Amino acid sequence: MENKLKYSSPARNFNESLLIGNGRIGAAVYGDPKKDTISLNHDTLWSGKPRSYGKEGAYDAFCRAREEILSGNIPAGQEIIEQEINSEWSQAYMPMGTLYIEANDGDITSYRRELDMENAVVTVDYTSEKGSAKREYLVSHPHGCLAIRCTSDSARDYVIRADSKLLYTCAAIGSTLAVSGQAPLTVFPQGHLPKGREQVEYGEGSMGFTFALEVKTDGVLSSDGFSLTVSGATSLTLLLCADTGYTSFDKAPDKDHEESVFSMLSAIAKEDFDLIKSEHTKDFSSYYNRVKLDLCANFVDKDTDLRLEDRGNDIGLYELIFNFGRYLLISSSRYGTEATNLQGIWNEHIVPPWQSNYTVNINTEMNYWPVHACALPEFFEPLVTLIKKISVNGRETAKSFYNAEGFVSHHNVDLWGMTNPVGKDTRGSAVYSFWALSSGWLCRHLFEHYEYTLDKDFLRDTAYPIMKEAAKFYLCMLVKDENGKYIFTPTTSPENRFLIDGKRYAVSKWSTMSQCIIAELFGNCVKCSEILGVDGEFASNLREKLESLQMHEIGEDGRLLEWDVQHTENEVNHRHVSHLYGLYPGEFITVDSTPELADACKKSLECRGDEGTGWGLAWKACLWARLKDGERAISFVDTQLCPISYEVMECKNWDGGTYPNLLDACPPFQIDGNFGVVAGIAEMLLQYEDGVIKLLPALPKRLATGSAFGLNVKGNITVDMEWKDGKLTSLTLTSPAEQTVTVACGASEENLTVSITPGKPVKVI
């Protein structure tokens, strides 16, 4: 199994650095022995503070906009939305600081840099004029710190410094170096600077932060007040803790972070690096090794960045990208931490691309697509935390913008749980911001968590109460159209536009994705009511709406309709494929049960083309896998593995790929594609469709022989399987829940019925 990323030179920028993290602290390691750079993040360090999520006059404007759209005047309706409804932007995820380790090594004669994903340790082994040396870097979850050890066979001198791009002060005293600072109160997104404002503004009440490190060495330690100097050391250990003022999304960030950092640091300062490392690797590998994918690849003795050139032939790369996504998930989404944002927990920019926020019209959801299939249900909890925030703040938004019950969120969320549509005073903003469906989409994840884990307590106490409030919002909003169908209106289809008289518009009477998300939420609420034996009347109301809810339609050209009418699209190859939600992640369309709709999806995909952003490619891999076309599915993984130079920092043509450090290039770096591709590969091997477990449903020829151990499927079932020349040769199912399941193997029509006894592996084949 491929578990290592390997390089023969230090990173030149972030896109070549190696990422480590414990969900809270994130670090990007550059690994240059002479001047090492380690950029640091903390998952709660964001600009901003709690605010209100309503807007005066918004509901009145909404009513007027709705009237215009329903009467066919899209330009007038969209104008009202953009001028009178759209509101404040989200805040941004901040870089915390950078740590530098300088050493007097002289010329380097040999160099290796590796990330061992199974143990979550980065190592740099090198030889310089002074002899050989090694560096190890890890972020420990059990000890809550970043730990770095530099060892060498002869003495070295080091200088250790730190700084931050935010407002900060730095102090070095004794063996400690500490940085304290303040995040901005407001960061405006790139390209959206209101007149008379600064891109980055500081002000009262924003988030403070501290990080501090303790040095342990056999050398002589001194300091000049700002940096630490170590002379004549063969061993140097740095232990770093960090914290911010954040306590809760609805409270001023006023925690004493300095006090908390120093108490954490003093608690671990005595710990030996070897002990920290052994507890860390034990902890990390226990999650990482839950799943094992072996595609019988030949060993390739090449640096990882060079292997990307041979994508499509180098089978081990599929294992590597699959394992890397799981590695990133375990490193960034620990129980009790914040959900992974656009850049996971790793961001170096003070004005990051798209604020490094939660973009919830595909990106955040994609981050959590692989979590259950890859047997990491605990790592889903941070998303629940995020959903809980919006379920509170979104009540104000529902009331203020729509005069509706329940709660709603739009396309952006931040640490503070913002829920309003963004794009204040911005012409053209409706295409991304006027989309009130993320609260519905996020609820699919809550119900899915139950379906995988069968955790009824979670369903009763957490998932269903939130789902019900989300459903109430859409219930209030539905109106009957002239055909007697319930529609959610007006809306958009993220982030696509169509042409009217040669001009681009985005707001429509209804969109397929909006309808699908509502249908799914209502359907799942009905299931909850049955499982929990509650809310019978509410469920009947939902059932009644479901019967007349506008759903999929096929256009004259055989494609699935994206909007209420077959508009001429502004961009036929648009990167989003929102109207295919019902195929993936939704479960409305399958090749067997709805073949016509499946064909329409195929046509839509063909027409959209085979290019895309990193996440767009991953989504298409999942969609083709659901269409049972393994060859097409894997071709998107190959395109995603297309090397993107470390120097490419922004998007030009939405051509996605992979940076040298295997991070997904939207471009720029966006972590969603790394997670989406894991889901895509898992979908090729295992699906759950219409109550049937489908094994190897979309197996590409080049993955004809292999094994996968530990993948999970709905029903709390763990699947271990081996296959040879495209045929399943061994299958074992295990579950803590007694149940009888139906299993279909490969393309064969024959279904098997399997009875599972709790905790006892059942060998089916």
Which residues of the shown chain bind ligand FUC in the complex (CB under 6 A)? 342, 354, 359, 363, 432, 495, 575, 613, 615, 666, 670
User: Least distance to ligand FUC from the beta carbon of 361, Å?
Assistant: 6
Quote the least distance from Cβ 586 to ligand FUC, whole Å: 19
Two tokens at 228?
């630490």
CA distances from 326 to 45, 115, 118, 676 (A): 24, 14, 10, 11
| Nearer to ligand FUC among residue 85 and residue 617 (C-beta) | 617
- The smaller minimum CB distance to ligand FUC, of residues 152 and 367, is found at 367
CB of 413 to ligand FUC, least distance (A): 12
Q: What does the alpha-carbon distance between residue 380 and residue 340 come to, in Å, rounded to a whole number?
A: 10
The least CB distance from residue 656 to ligand FUC, in Å, is 9
Q: Which residue is nearest to ligand FUC (CB)?
A: 354
Please state the closest distance from residue 355 (CB atom) to ligand FUC, in A. Answer: 9
- At closest approach, how far in Å is the CB of 673 from ligand FUC? 9
Residue placing its CB nearer to ligand FUC in the complex, 37 or 355: 355
Kindly tell me which of 323 and 429 has the beta carbon lying closer to ligand FUC: 429
* Rounded least distance, CB 414 to ligand FUC, Å: 13
Extract the tokens encoding 168. Answer: 């900060």
Closer by beta carbon to ligand FUC, 572 or else 740 = 572
Contact in structure between 7 and 332 (CB atoms under 8 Å): no
Q: At what angle do helices 464-477 and 512-532 cross, to 10 degrees?
A: 130
Q: How far apart are CA 240 and CA 273, in angstroms?
A: 12
Long-range contacts of 719-725 (CB under 8 A, 24+ apart): 719/686, 719/693, 719/695, 720/761, 721/685, 721/695, 721/696, 723/696, 723/699
The answer to whether residues 440 and 521 touch, using CB atoms and an 8 Å cutoff, is yes
Task: Compute the least distance from the CB of residue 575 to ligand FUC, in Å.
Answer: 6
C-beta closer to ligand FUC: residue 366 or 713: 366
- Residues in CB range of 67: below 8 A, 6 or more apart: 77
How far apart, in Å, are the Cα atoms of 420 and each of 382, 434, 753? 21, 9, 48
Least separation in angstroms between residue 368's CB and ligand FUC is 16
591: left (phi over 0), alpha (psi -120 to 50) or beta: alpha
- Could you give the count of Cα atoms lying within 13 Å of 186 in the half-sphere of its Cβ? 12
Nearer to ligand FUC, 495 or 564 (CB): 495
- For residues 610 and 372, give the distance between their C-alpha atoms in angstroms, rounded to a whole number: 28
Nearer to ligand FUC, 120 or 431 (CB): 431
Q: Of 87 and 400, which CB lies nearer to ligand FUC in the complex structure?
A: 87
- Joined together, the tokens standing for residue 89 give 């932007």
* Inter-residue contact 205 to 246 (CB < 8 Å): no
Q: Which is nearer to ligand FUC, 525 or 665 (CB)?
A: 665
Distance of CA 213 to the CA centre of its chain: 29
Residue closer to ligand FUC by CB (options 359, 391) is 359
Please identify, using beta-carbon distances, which residue of 32 and 495 lies nearer to ligand FUC.
495
Residue type present at position 233: A
From the CB of 359, what's the least distance to ligand FUC, in Å? 4
- 205 vs 246: CA distance, rounded Å: 11
- One-letter identity of residue 617: L
Sequence-distant (6+) residues with CB within 8 A of 461 are none
Measured distance CA(639)–CA(700) in Å, rounded: 15
> Min. distance of Cβ 411 from ligand FUC in angstroms?
7
Matching residue, tokens 């297309």: 642
CB of 615 vs ligand FUC, minimal distance in Å? 6
Closest approach of ligand FUC to the CB of residue 149, in Å: 37
To 10 degrees, what angle do helices 316-332 and 672-685 make? 120
Cα separations in angstroms, 651 against 28, 339, 426, 657, 669:
22, 24, 21, 11, 10
**Is 341 or 635 the residue whose CB approaches ligand FUC more closely?**
341
Cβ 561 to ligand FUC, closest distance in Å?
21
Both tokens assigned to 422? 């963004």
Strand partners, 417: none
Question: How far is Cα 671 from Cα 353, in angstroms, rounded to an integer?
Answer: 12
Single-letter amino acid code for the residue at 567: H
For residue 362, the minimal CB distance to ligand FUC (Å) is 7
Closer by beta carbon to ligand FUC, 41 or else 359: 359
Closer CB to ligand FUC, residue 376 or residue 618? 618
Query: Measuring CA to CA, how many Å separate 390 from each of 385, 407, 412, 439?
Result: 9, 8, 11, 8
Asked if 333 and 339 count as a contact pair (C-beta separation under 8 A), the reply is: yes
Name residue 633's amino acid. A
Helix (H) or strand (E) holding 430: helix 430-433
